[in-house]
Structure 1
Amino acid sequence: MCLSTMNIILKDFENSNTSSAYTTWFMGGYALTVGSFILVSGRIADLYGFKKIFNIGWIWIIVWSIISGFSFYTNSIIFFIICRAFQGIGFALILPTGLGILGHIYSNGERKNFVFGCVGANGPTGACVGALMAGVVAQTWWWPWIFWLLAIFSFILLILSIVYIPHFEGDTTGNRLQKLNIPGCIIGLAGLILMNFVWTQGPVVGWNKAYIIVLLVVSVLLIAAFFVYELKFTEFPLLPKSIFNIKIGLVLACMSFGWGSFGAWQFYYWNIILNLRNYTPIEGGLTYITFLVLGCIASLLASFIISHTKPSFIISFSTICFMVGCIMLSVTPIEQSFFRLTFGMQFILAWAMDLSFPTCCLILSDLMKNNQGMAGSLVSTVVNYSVSLFLGMSTCVEIETYKHNQDQLSSYRAGLYFATGIAGLGVICSFIFIFVQRKDANGTNAFIEIENVDDSSIEKKDIENM
């Protein structure tokens, strides 16, 4: 929503001495809070009930969408970015709870695979609808209505969720606040937010600022303290100890590097077509129709592929697609027709999104049967936090390159080269995952087919067969 309209929004805040570098925050600020707060929202949903937290998330989105629209009158781009960041907290509440609700409703099998495939289709579908709708509203009307319309649609979805989504009882076996692990939440959130803030703000203000270096050191110490506290000192860790397994770690690493590179790809794609190809926001939004069509096709086939293919092969294929998409954008000539490399990279990336996300969701949903909210949190945390973190790193490369050569295209490509390297790390992790996994007796994805056994046996057998 903010990428297709970033030039229009930035122009309305020109009187506040804004810089185009702030456009990094248009995407990064939202992804920062989504990726950080999802870490705890899944635990909150497990304790207090999925439907309740799901609805609270919609209410939060409605409130901050309205405020985001009115930020126009403040003439402060910083306030607008803050509003977007707070808006992200609402989505951090509904993403893992939505996945958790689906994980509870559907038992293991092809129907569940199909449903999670449809969830994966939300990526390209939402990207197209959001970019195109925002472009039409901002170009033909007034950009604050982007957020006010979002508030209206969110209100409709809130009513529908209240009426139709079944109620799931939260944890009633003990002290919920104690199980929430408030110290762990505070340490973890502080570390994640500061780390992300530093890598997004550093390129904007410069790395020579003392507070940037200080906050970077503090964030590293807080993240280290979080893991020490979770493993050694708390009775109810936010991260189940079962995830500290090399195979699950490799899956999450593949998701992190793959989607982190895609976040950079998306940012530079919009900068290239708006600033170098001079597309209008509506024309840019229309290019995302490729994602809409191919994403739906990929999602319909994803459930079949997931049911008949080992997850390591699917994850590996997805990471390769992420890397190829970054490579193609980095070498695409500015004057070239959309229907050549640009169209081709979107075809490839649609498969990357629609296969990686539902596959990872299914893996963690099946392995963490009693912690569906946390399973959804882990996937969404890795995806959204990586988008924001690696976007900040890539823009750092871009800005430093521009300082040396004063060439916008080569600086964009430098950021894309970094994203390609990140995606390449994902490919390496996926190959390692294939190497360390063991084949089950049928040579297929056994853990998706396991049914009617207790949770502990699922976890043990799944980890062995993965």
Structure 2
Amino acid sequence: MNLGRTKDGTAALAAPPRTGPALAALAAAQFTVMLATSIVNVALPQIRAGVGLSDGGTTWVVNAYGLAFGALLLAGGRAADLLGRRRVLMAGLAVFAGASLAAGLAAAPGVMITARAVQGLGAAVIAPAALALAMDLFPPGPERGRALGVWGAVSGAGGAVGVLLGGVLTQTWGWPWVFHIAALGALLVLTAVAALVPRATGRQTGSFDLLGTATVTLALTCLVWALTSARALGWTDAAVLGALLAAGVLCVAFALIERRRPDALMPPRLFATGRVAAGNVLMALLGSVWIALFFFLPLYQQQVLGMSPLATGAGQLPLAVANMLGAVAAPRISRRVGAAATVVAALLTEAAGMLWLSRMSPDGSYLVDVLGPSILVGLGLSIAFVQLTALAVDGVPRQDTGLAGGLVNTTRQVGGAIGLAALATLAGSVTTHASGHQPHLEALTTGYRTAFAVSAVILAASALLALPLTRQPRRPRRPLLPCRTPEATTAPPYRQAPHHAPAP
């Protein structure tokens, strides 16, 4: 309790700190990160033509950001805990702004992909630091639940609004402005954080786990490269199989390294705290279809339905609105029916929307094939995201909140990169096979339908898995006190403390 003094010298309650503006600045940082994930999707055909990208290179415009983001999030969370969360957040925003500007000026494939990777590096620092600062502002309870609702709203809306903004900018000013606006936004958020977010009062001691960071980054790079390249090279290609084998070996090495290091990048103690493991497993599965949704849906709208970039972006508005409404309602729903039931219902709602999308037609329309399922997907996605984020930081000590925030963002982003690579490979293979006996647009639609159908299966399986994982762990029962016996009543009393000892 904060005490102040009135004019007559008596004690009085001081006004609580203004957390609203600080939360707005931190939420804006998270929004910027999520915006960069999807803002390029509508502009991919124009970026490909402007920079001279191949089919595989076009996918890496998305994957380079997602891979760097996911692989370095744990390191970003650890850096925030060690170096100061506010300081690290501001540094990440500066790196993000510079990389965004470089991507907008890129004239060669290598420059574009490198700039996107550095942009992902900045995002990997921003996301865990911003989440940890938000958790510092709101202790566990209803206020934290509402803060996580805001967090979920801006996270989901960032993906949908990114598609809209990408369409507007691509059609009016050209694809470079997709990146220039991200740079400008990051600089504005940096200014807001410096002005509104209070300074932290202490940092953890420890060192960086460079070996663990390098090992897990190489493992994820090998895995996503193999999944991305399998479409062109084939699953039996020696390079693809070698990359998959290397990813597996590096993952095992990472697990062994983390068990022996005192300052591990992913300390085992984190998984013994609360329900962190359950939240991260489910978040990885949710992420595997999240990014793919914002990849395939704009492609269907543009390539099959023939919608312009502007119309494609505007078509994402219902999804964004549903996403924000679901995120705001999520804490209230959870208090009424429980966290476990809320997660299961949200995943099943999103699965229903994906299943509806899997029935899209090559001669369909936006109103019939996109609008209805988008609303279902937006509601389910946002509610599930809020609840799983809360689950992943449940019971985590304050000194580990940066690491926990980095971990839950890692699982979502890495799951998204792997899911996008796998689903893009699957959709491409189905389209190639169907092209032999179907018209081009029908073959494209067949590939997209397959990706959405598999996404629905993944979400339904996640809902079944959530039933046992999200149960509140049983607290150990207190041992019964021994009954008082006649012998106990006649036992000599405890020796009293000396008179001068302080009372207990």
Q: Is the 8 A contact 2:350 2:378 kept in 1?
A: no
Query: TM-score, normalization: structure 2?
Result: 0.80
Identify the residue that residue 252 of structure 1 maps to in structure 2.
280
Aligned to 2:263: 236
> What do the CA deviations read for 1:307-346 (whole angstroms, capped 9, x no partner)?
3342222221222123222211111223334233422212
Match of 1:317 in 2: 345
Bigger drift between 117-126 and 334-343 goes to 334-343
Instruction: Report 1 or 2 for greater relative contact order, CA contacts < 8 Å, sequence distance ≥ 6.
Output: 1
* Partners of 1:254 and 1:220 in 2: CA distance: 21
Contact 1:127 / 1:288 at 8 angstroms: preserved in 2? no
Q: Deviations over 1:77-113 (max 9, x none)?
A: 3431222122111111111111100111111121111
Alpha-carbon distance in 2 for matches of 1:239, 1:290: 38
For 2:359 and 2:210, the matched residues in 1 are separated by 47
Deviating above 6 A after TM superposition, structure 1's stretches of 4 or more consecutive aligned residues are none
Separation of aligned partners in 1, 2:461 and 2:271? 20
Cα 1:311/1:204, change in 2 over 3 Å? farther
Match of 1:415 in 2: 451
Say which SS state the counterpart of residue 307 (structure 2) adopts. coil
Quote the offset at 1:151 in angstroms.
1.1
Provide the rounded CA distance (Å) in 2 between the counterparts of 1:183 and 1:169: 29
For 1:202-244, what per-residue CA distance to the aligned partner results, in whole angstroms no more than 9, with x for missing partners?
Answer: 324544553332222111111111112212x111222232444
Partner of 2:309: 281
> Alpha-carbon deviation of 1:274?
1.0
1:263-412 alignment runs, 5 A limit: 263-369=291-397, 370-406=399-435, 407-412=443-448
Check conservation: 1:253, 1:426, Cα contact below 8 A: no
Equivalences for residues 69-218 of structure 1 within 5 A:
69-71=104-106, 73=107, 76-173=108-205, 176-177=206-207, 180-207=208-235, 209-218=237-246
Residues 1:393 and 1:10: Cα distance change in structure 2 (over 3 Å): same
Per-residue deviation, 1:172: 5.0
Unpaired segments ≥5 residues, structure 2: 1-38, 436-442, 477-504
Partner of 2:76: 41
Q: Are 2:327 and 2:382, in contact at CA under 8 Å, matched by a contact in 1?
A: yes
Aligned 8 A contact 1:30 1:86 in 2: yes
Q: Which whole-Å deviations, capped at 9, do the CAs of 1:248-267 have from their partners, x for residues lacking one?
A: 43332222112212222322
Question: How many angstroms does 1:54 deviate by?
Answer: 0.2
- Equivalent position amino acid for 2:407 in 1: L
- TM-superposed CA distance for 1:201, in Å, is 3.1
Hey, what does 2:468 align to over in structure 1?
432
Unpaired runs of 5+ in structure 1?
442-466
**Secondary structure, counterpart of 1:108 in structure 2:** coil
Give the Cα separation in 2 of the matches to 1:53 and 1:60: 11
Distance 1:205-1:281 versus aligned 2 partners, 3 A rule: farther
3-state SS of paired residue (1:296): helix
The answer (yes or no) to whether the contact 2:99–2:115 under 8 Å persists in 1 is yes
1:82 maps to amino acid: T
Q: Distance in 2 between matches of 1:128 and 1:183?
A: 37
Number of the residue aligned with 1:448: none
d(CA) in 2 for partners of 1:317 and 1:84? 35
1:383-407: per-residue Cα shift (whole Å, max 9, x none)? 1111110111111212222332212
Residues in 1 aligned to 2:411 and 2:269: alpha-carbon distance in whole angstroms = 17
CA deviations 1:33-84 (Å, max 9, x no partner) are 111111211111111110011001101011101110111x3xx334312221
Q: Say if 1:50 and 1:101, in contact at 8 Å, map to a contact too.
A: yes
**Does the C-alpha gap of structure 1 residues 57 and 204 become closer, same or farther in structure 2, counting only changes over 3 Å?**
farther
In structure 2, give the amino acid aligned to 1:380. N
Q: 1:25-64 residue pairs with structure 2 within 5 A? A: 25-64=60-99
Q: Tell me, in whole angstroms, the C-alpha distance in 2 between the residues paired with 1:200 and 1:101.
A: 35
Q: In structure 2, how many angstroms separate the alpha carbons of the residues matched to 1:149 and 1:273?
A: 24
Gap change, CA 1:190 and 1:403, over 3 Å in 2? same
Task: Kindly provide the amino acid, as one letter, of the partner of residue 89 in structure 2.
Answer: F
The number of residues matched between the two structures is 429
Matches of 2:256 and 2:159, distance apart in 1 = 38
Q: CA deviation at 1:169?
A: 4.2
SS at match of 2:358: helix
TM-score calculated relative to the size of structure 1 = 0.86
Partners of 1:145 and 1:304 lie apart in 2 by 39
Matches of 1:383 and 1:262 in 2, distance apart?
Answer: 9
Deviations 1:260-294 (A, max 9, x none): 12222322212211110111111010011112322
Identity of aligned residues (%): 21
1:255 and 1:426 in contact (8 A); partners too: no
Aligned counterpart, 2:34: none
| Counterpart-to-counterpart distance in 1, 2:102 and 2:236 | 34
Larger helix share, 1 or 2: 1
Residues 211-220 or 51-60, more deviating: 211-220
Aligned counterparts of 1:188 and 1:228: Cα–Cα separation in 2 = 12
Contact 1:290 1:347 (C-alpha < 8 Å) held by counterparts: yes
